[in-house]
Amino acid sequence: DASDAEKGTYPHYMLKEMDEQPGVVRKIIQQYTNDAGELIVDEAILTALKNADRLYIIAAGTSYHAGLVGKQYFEKLACIPVEVHISSEFGYNIPLLSEKPLFIFISQSGETADSRQVLVKVKKMGHPTLTITNVAGSTLSREADYTLLLHAGPEIAVASTKAYIAQLAVLAIAAYVTGKSKGNQIDFDLKTELAIAANAIQSIVDSKEELHKISKEYLETTRNAFFIGRNIDYYVSLEGALKLKEISYIQAEGFAGGELKHGTIALIEKGTPVFALVTQEPVALNIRGNVKEVVTRGANACVISMEGLDEHDDRLVIPKVHQLLTPMVSVVPLQFISYYAALDRGCDVDKPRNLAKSVTVE
Ligand code: G6P
């Protein structure tokens, strides 16, 4: 049928969409660059961001995980405090707000009902709103004051991949441009760093056969799997676990490395797969300590580290990118590993049971 034709030679949309990721980053750089070659966002949006004393990021699922990373971007680059909330919780339990909040809705589809009910409520309260979405003209885009587009192209597979990468890139650009415009000290060129990240993503996409091997090695027979990281790697471990459970039905949990000892370590048995991310220099030793703790208890640890922080026994080393952009790169092997785990278990990769691409009921 027509939708199959769009897949071309790909067996699944998810595989096609993961392969498109380096191109998506390059497209975003292009779309957010002016004639003088500088990164920009729309003036009105920039003003709204600079006027806010606090940003409230509201989202669901994978978009929520992108929001957690976005908080780091806005706090580190733009020096604006940020709260990140799950849409379905926020609307029915609105916390005390700052004096000049700006609400940012992150939604691939722009149609998620949980997010929309928050938009409706905060608009009634008179607060400014910005939607970051892949779909121009979507409900959340039409109803918010401002929109930033992801330019990722249609995402068909239920498990979100390229939209997450696009959300990170657009959040980074918005935070960076705001910070620059406020005169904040920012000691790197984001455009260059995003281009480096696009190349790093490409090299991971090109190593998919190796990622299939890793998937077989760690996930072939397991019933559960854990993902650990610290700092920004923690947010990626949440997304890695979500990807795996969504499409392979393996029970997966992502959490902060330091929390292991406060509960989850009780679940580690001989052979339990634990994926550990090591991309953040300040916490590299701490997370390696956590890996030792699980290995001592029999875990089958798969360390994914970044060049420069790598050690001899690491299972995968990803190319070096800017410290803030590591999620765009480290998530990619986790996406592929999940894809192959689902494929090898005979699961319906693009249309997992019980899930919908966009959920239009609360
Ligand atoms: C659904 C999808 C998820 C997605 C979430 C939020 O649950 O299955 O993949 O992350 O909705 O969707 P949105 O379009 O708002 O980003």
Q: What is the pLDDT of residues 57-112, one digit of tens each?
A: 999 999 999 999 999 999 999 999 999 999 999 999 999 999 999 999 999 999 99
Q: How far is the CA of 359 from the centre of ligand 1 (A)?
A: 7
- For ligand 1, what atom is nearest to the CA of residue 112? 15
Give pLDDT tens digits for 143-196: 999 999 999 999 999 999 999 999 999 999 999 999 999 999 999 999 999 999
Q: Is 61 in the pocket of ligand 1 (CB under 6 A)?
A: yes
Q: Yes or no: say if 177 and 40 are a contact pair by the CB < 8 Å rule.
A: yes
Q: Mention every residue, 6+ apart, whose C-beta is less than 8 A from residue 161.
A: 14, 17, 18, 21, 155, 243, 335
Coil vs helix vs strand at 148: strand
Q: How much is the average pLDDT of 223-239? A: 98
Q: Is any ligand 1 atom within 6 A of the Cβ of residue 166?
A: no
The span from the CA of 282 to the CA of 80, in Å, is 23
pLDDT category, 3, cuts 50, 70, 90?
low
Q: Which of 195, 190, 164, 165 is nearest to 176 (CA)?
A: 190
With the most atoms of ligand 1 within 8 angstroms of its CB, the residue from 108, 158, 167, 331 to mutate is: 108
Q: Report whether residue 63 contacts ligand 1, using a CB cutoff of 6 Å.
A: yes
What are 245-288's pLDDT values in tens digits? 999 999 999 999 999 989 888 899 999 999 999 999 999 999 99
Q: How far is the CA of 117 from the centre of ligand 1 (A)?
A: 15
| CB of 161 shorter than 6 A to ligand 1 | no
Whether ligand 1 lies within 6 angstroms of the CB of 108 is answered as yes
Q: Is 115 in the pocket of ligand 1 (CB under 6 A)?
A: yes
Question: Is a pLDDT exceeding 60 seen at residue 1?
Answer: no
Q: Whose CA is nearest to atom 11 of ligand 1?
A: 358
Closest to 254 (Cα-Cα) out of 177, 338, 317: 338
CA of 62 to the centre of ligand 1 (A): 6
With a cut of 90, say whether residue 224 has pLDDT above it: yes
Residue 216 tokens, joined: 């077989």
Q: What is the pLDDT of residue 78?
A: 98
Using the mean position of ligand 1's atoms as its centre, give its distance from the Cα of residue 76 in Å.
Answer: 27
- Residue 141 CA to residue 109 CA, distance in Å, equals 10
pLDDT digits (tens, 9 = 90+) for 5-60: 588 899 999 999 999 999 999 999 999 999 999 999 999 999 999 999 999 999 99
Q: Please work out whether the CB of residue 279 comes within 6 Å of at least one atom of ligand 1.
A: no
Task: List strands edge to edge, sheet with 129-133.
Answer: 82-86, 54-59, 101-107, 129-133, 146-149
Distant-in-sequence, close-in-space partners of 56: CB < 8 Å, separation ≥ 6? 82, 83, 85, 90, 97, 101, 102, 103, 104, 122
Given a contact cutoff of 8 angstroms between Cβ atoms, the answer to whether 293 and 260 are in contact is yes
**Ligand 1 contact via 131 beta carbon (within 6 Å):** no
Q: How far is the CA of 59 from the centre of ligand 1 (A)?
A: 9
170 Cα–ligand 1 center, Å: 17
208 as an active site residue: the answer is no
Nearest ligand 1 atom to the CA of 115 is 15
Q: Ligand 1, residues 160, 247, 355: which to mutate, most atoms within 8 A of Cβ?
A: 160
- Provide the ipTM: 0.97
The predicted structure's pLDDT at residue 356: 87
pTM for this structure? Answer: 0.97
